[in-house]
Amino acid sequence: MQAIIYRDYGTADVLQLSEVARPTPVDNEVLIKVCVSALNAADWRLMHGKPLLMRLMTGLFKPKKGTPGTDVAGIVEAVGRNVSQFKVGDAIFGDLAGCGAGGLGQYVCAPEHVLVLKPENVDFEQAAAAPMAAVTALQGLRQGQIAAGQNILIYGASGGIGTFAVQLAKHFGATVTAVASASKHDLLRELGADSVLDYAKQDFASNGQRYDLILGVNGYRSIFDYKRSLAAKGRYVMIGGEMRQIFQALIVGKLLSLGSQQQLSNLFAKPNQTDLAKVGSLLANGDIKAVIDRRYPLAEAPAAMRYLEAGHAKGKILINLQASTEQSLEQTV
């Protein structure tokens, strides 16, 4: 089978399309024929081996597992003897972040507890785009104790997590202010944002507005800016971002929260089957949708990763593995 592999940490130049052996599922695993995979910021961070502390788990000098890709949607090709939730032929989707990734391969094995059935009226692209981003957005809003009628700010609203967060916040009855570059404002309004701010021209931290909940997704702003913009009992939840953001939320956020009704924290999102099933239901009901920016065949995964890393994507970037397979067969013939 074909898969993208990398044997060293680095830029997208380390990614190579290679022929590798098809994996075999163990007792609690299913073998997935991957139809579509979606890229996340976590994928290029793993590729770079950053932050360095992460290498204690992924490999100190070289990656232990060399095929990236956490979000997948596909067909169950085989099942281990203890698998009870799925059968051969089932259409499924899931997040492989906690079990070694591997989604940028035509086949991958995964434990059944990280997967759910794909609703019949949700296509493979929509399903593949949702697991990490939508579940992270859902868990972030939950940690921020979202409630109907709240005023919410989402900083970094146009990426994969942000576009889902806007829709989920509206689903829960909040009033949403979305912060992103001006070129993405029309998209965010279409997704339901009540107001939009251009981060290059409008400073949310100095306009006097106070928010019940702020989600800070990736793009850097000081934790003190977020605190200044919180309501008296407001909550700030940091999602993703650079090491200095993580440090601020872990250390400074805890200190700022002491003795205060404001709470500042970061989210440690985890794959969760129940949350993933909830996302599937929301997709099936039309309450949320994945915003698809670009699609690439497997052979062009390095270009897709470069585009992701540039930080200009609107929503999700997909890798179509079936298109890649067909092209490879045509080239062989």
For residue range 274-295, list pLDDT tens digits in order: 999 999 999 999 999 999 999 9
Residue 240, CA distances (Å) to 68, 80, 253 in order: 18, 34, 15
pLDDT of residue 240: 77
Kindly give the interhelix angle for 160-171 and 131-143, rounded to the nearest 10 degrees. Answer: 50
Q: Which residue has the higher pLDDT, 243 or 33?
A: 33
What residues does each domain of the chain span?
Answer: 2-130+290-332, 132-266
Angle at the Cα of 108 (from 136 to 46), degrees rounded to 5? 50
Res. 326: pLDDT tops 50:
no
pLDDT of residue 59: 54
pLDDT of residue 100: 86
Q: Which of 304, 285, 290 is nearest to 125 (CA)?
A: 290
pLDDT of residue 323: 66
Q: Which residue has the higher pLDDT, 151 or 244?
A: 151
Give the percent of the chain with pLDDT over 70: 90
* CATH class of the domain whose range is 2-130+290-332: alpha beta
Task: Count Cβ atoms within 10 A of the Cβ of residue 4 and give its class: 0-12 exposed, 13-18 middle, 19 or more buried.
Answer: buried
pLDDT band at 131 (very low <50, low <70, confident <90, very high): very high
Q: Where are the alpha helices (DSSP H) in 50-123?
A: 55-58
pLDDT of residue 23: 96
Q: What is the CA radius of gyration of the chain?
A: 20
Q: Tell me the CATH architecture of domain 132-266.
A: 3-Layer(aba) Sandwich (3.40)
pLDDT band at 69 (very low <50, low <70, confident <90, very high): very high
Least confident of 57-66, 74-83, 205-214, 304-313: 57-66
**For residues 117 and 92, is the Cβ–Cβ distance under 8 A?**
yes
Which segments within 168-291 are labelled E, that is strand? 175-180, 195-198, 211-217, 230-239, 263-266
269/272 Cα distance (integer angstroms): 9
Res. 48: pLDDT tops 70:
no
pLDDT band at 54 (very low <50, low <70, confident <90, very high): low
SS3 (DSSP) at 130:
coil
pLDDT of residue 254: 77
Q: Which of 57, 29, 48, 43 is nearest to 102 (CA)?
A: 43
**What's the maximum distance between 2 C-alpha atoms anywhere in the chain?**
70
pLDDT of residue 52: 59
Determine which helix (DSSP H) or strand (DSSP E) holds 75, and give its type and residue range: strand 71-79
pLDDT band at 250 (very low <50, low <70, confident <90, very high): confident
pLDDT of residue 53: 57
For residue range 70-114, list pLDDT tens digits in order: 999 999 999 999 999 999 999 999 999 989 899 999 999 999 999
pLDDT of residue 66: 83
pLDDT of residue 332: 25
For residue range 161-209, list pLDDT tens digits in order: 999 999 999 999 999 999 999 999 999 999 999 999 999 999 999 888 9
**Over the chain, what is the mean pLDDT?**
90
pLDDT band at 331 (very low <50, low <70, confident <90, very high): very low
pLDDT of residue 330: 33
Res. 243: pLDDT tops 90:
no
- Main-chain dihedrals φ then ψ at residue 246, nearest 5 degrees: -60, -45
For residue range 222-233, list pLDDT tens digits in order: 889 999 999 999
pTM: 0.92
pLDDT band at 325 (very low <50, low <70, confident <90, very high): very low
Tokens read off for 215: 């989600």
pLDDT of residue 98: 87
**For residues 95 and 60, is the Cβ–Cβ distance under 8 A?**
no
Q: What is the mean pLDDT of residues 252-270?
A: 87
